[in-house]
């Protein structure tokens, strides 16, 4: 699915981001652990330049643990230190929504290591939390602050403006509104982002997104589908799966025919909530997706 969805506020968000980056020491880029490559915004990579970056794999409690470990190894190997940057300029960590104390400790420690602030250990580290919509930026801000200071929601573009907060450990963090790039040309990337909820539902074709999800899940996680929807056997194709889901969830039209749109809605929201199981939509090796 090629998607062109770029609300007006994102144009402003891009400008604000470009203006704000120079005043920060490090970017904390929140990625969706289920799709780290698809949820990485090339605009952020372009704007940050050589600025240190901590990639945080959010929602890892919804992702396939083995896939997440593979992604962490990938980032560790891809971001090895150099002579010019002995500690490296990029690092990655996976977080969950439950182990909040561990999240605060590891992010603070990694940010300080990456920054290597010329002002010394006592210098305040200024971090900006960035990422595409609906990857968990506000959830991370609330975790770091140990209280609710940023609005959290299941829809993209919940955060409308920049928010600044000071952590107990002295770090200063700002939460930047979710930012997509203007034209998502790669169909596979568009499908993954739409399935994960990074793109407004008003801009996607639910049946097309569900068909993509059904095909992928049948290929990678058939046992989870059988268990979730109490199927007698694995359906032969994506449409057959949606029909079976529709029958079991009462997604029927008058006369008993399955309403594929309603069945698609069930599959998409079951994936987003983690009801089907812990699933990842991509692996580091491109030919393994």
Confidence check: pLDDT of 50 > 90: no
pLDDT above 70 as % of the chain: 83
Confidence check: pLDDT of 18 > 50: yes
Q: How far is CA 282 from CA 33, 68, 213, 279, in A?
A: 9, 10, 12, 9
Give Dmax (Cα) for the chain: 73
What's the pLDDT band for 65 if we cut at 50, 70, 90?
Answer: very high
Q: How far is CA 204 from CA 160, 187, 214, in A?
A: 21, 12, 16
- What pLDDT score does 81 carry? 54
Mean pLDDT of 27-51: 90
What are the structure tokens assigned to 99, written together? 């182990």
Round to whole Å and give the CA distance between 103 and 109.
10
- What pLDDT score does 88 carry? 52
Confidence check: pLDDT of 153 > 60: no
Whose tokens are 């739409």? That residue is 194
Mean pLDDT of 5-23: 73
Least confident stretch, 168-172, 182-186, 240-244: 182-186
Least confident stretch, 28-42, 192-206, 243-257, 269-283: 192-206
How do residues 215-246 score in pLDDT, each as one tens digit? 999 999 999 999 999 999 999 999 999 999 99
Q: Which domains does the chain have, with CATH numbers?
A: 8-175 (3.40.50.300), 205-283 (1.10.1580.10)
Q: Is the dihedral of CA 138, 142, 147, 153 positive or negative?
A: positive
């Amino acid at each position: 699915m090629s998607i062109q969805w770029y609300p007006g506020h994102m144009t402003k968000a891009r400008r604000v981001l470009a203006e704000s980056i120079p005043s920060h020491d490090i970017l904390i880029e929140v990625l969706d652990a289920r799709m780290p490559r698809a949820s990485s915004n090339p605009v952020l990579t372009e704007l940050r330049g050589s600025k240190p970056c901590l990639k945080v794999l959010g929602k890892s409690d919804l992702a396939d643990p083995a896939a997440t470990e593979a992604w962490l190894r990938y980032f560790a190997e891809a971001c090895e230190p150099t002579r010019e940057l002995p500690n490296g300029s990029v690092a990655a960590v996976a977080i969950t929504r439950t182990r909040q104390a561990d999240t605060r400790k590891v992010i603070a420690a990694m940010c300080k290591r990456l920054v290597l602030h010329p002002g010394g250990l006592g210098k305040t580290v200024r971090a900006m939390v960035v990422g595409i919509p609906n990857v968990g930026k506000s959830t991370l801000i609330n975790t770091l602050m140990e209280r609710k200071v940023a609005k959290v929601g299941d829809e993209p573009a919940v955060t409308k403006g920049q928010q600044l907060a000071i952590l107990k450990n002295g770090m200063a963090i700002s939460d930047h509104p979710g930012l997509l790039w203007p034209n998502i040309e790669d169909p596979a990337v568009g499908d993954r982002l739409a399935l994960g909820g990074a793109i407004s539902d008003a801009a996607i074709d639910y049946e097309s997104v569900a068909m993509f999800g059904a095909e992928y899940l049948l290929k990678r996680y058939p046992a989870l589908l059988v268990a979730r929807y109490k199927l007698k056997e694995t359906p032969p194709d994506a449409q057959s799966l949606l029909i079976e889901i529709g029958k079991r969830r009462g997604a029927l039209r008058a006369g008993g025919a399955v309403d594929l749109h309603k069945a698609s809605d069930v599959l998409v929201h079951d994936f987003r909530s983690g009801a089907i199981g812990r699933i990842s939509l991509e692996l580091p090796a491109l030919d393994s997706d």
